[in-house]
Amino acid sequence: MTSDPAAAERRVTIVLFPGFELLDVFGPVQLFSMAPGMTVDFAAPVAGPVASSHGVEVVAPVALAEVTDPDILLVPGGRGTRTLVSDPEFLESLRILAARARIVTSVCTGAALLAEAGLLDGYRATSNKMSFAWVVGHGARTTWVPEARWVEDRDRWTSSGVAAGMDMAAALLAATVGPEAARTATVRAELEVQADPSHDPFARIHGLV
């Protein structure tokens, strides 16, 4: 994917659900909010406060059914994914939003939700290495990459666990609004990102390679 610094404003819609992982969301949000031309919205199955897996509540101003113009869709992971993979209404809402989005992304076990919804069929993808065996069980038509910090495959971006979402977000910024914008965001955040998507020591730690 080539960068397009002159493109119209990018809107990132982040899907919240009970039991989402905080850093999966706010690591990328920190970087997106520092980049010119990027705005971030939150949506949830039901509008209102949504409790993370750590008990912190975040307000989603709109319900998923009310989202009409997602440009970049981001689905985090967290304990809540374990029940949502069996929630047909939620999965259908993801399919509808993904069909409207230009780019669909996930952090951590959010990939299991995309896979269960059929949104990773025919794509390469990765996910949290500690939960990798569980995630891949939800995507028989997905080519799972066990050793990857993140994977970009056309209009699908998936990252490994939790903090890896920030590395993916930096790469996504570089691809969509330009390398300089990505560098400015990471410098302002004093974040030393991993720029090599294949660098994944956690795959070996968890016996995947």
Domains along the sequence of the chain with CATH: 10-197 (3.40.50.880)
pLDDT at position 8 = 57
For residue 2, pLDDT beyond 70 = no
DSSP 140-168: TTSEE-SS-SEEEETTEEEE-STTHHHHH
Here the tokens at position 64 are 């998923």
Average pLDDT, the chain: 95
pLDDT of residue 5: 41
**pLDDT at 29 (0 to 100):** 98
Q: For residue 69, what pLDDT is reported?
A: 85
Contact 50, 60 (CB under 8 A): yes
**Does residue 174 have a pLDDT over 90?**
yes
- Would you place residue 6 in the very low, low, confident or very high pLDDT band (cuts 50, 70, 90)? very low
Is it the case that residue 4 has pLDDT exceeding 50?
Answer: no
CB 103 within 8 A of CB 71: yes
Residue 122 scores a pLDDT above 50 = yes
* pLDDT at residue 7 tops 60: no
State the Cα angle at 134 between 116 and 117, rounded to 5°: 5
Q: What DSSP letter does each residue of 121-146 carry, written as one string?
A: TT-EE---STTHHHHHTT-TTSEE-S
pLDDT tens across 136-145, in order? Answer: 999 999 999 9
In the beta sheet, which residues pair with residue 11? 39
What pLDDT is recorded for position 3? 43
* End-to-end Cα, the chain, rounded Å: 28
Rounded to 5°, angle at Cα 24 from 18 and 25: 70
The pair phi, psi for residue 145, each rounded to 5°, is -105, 105
Structure tokens at 62: 């709109």
Cβ 16 vs Cβ 81: under 8 Å: no
Which residue bears the tokens 């399919």? 95
pLDDT at 37: 87
Query: b/e map of 182-206 (b: 16 or more CB within 10 Å)?
Result: bebbbeebebebbeebeebebbeeb
Supply φ then ψ for residue 152, to 5 degrees: -110, 120
Q: In this predicted model, what pLDDT tens digit does every residue of 33-65 receive, in sequence order? A: 999 889 999 999 999 999 999 999 999 999 999
Residues 6+ apart with CB under 8 A from 6: none
* Residue 58 three-state SS: strand
Residue 76 is predicted with a pLDDT of 98
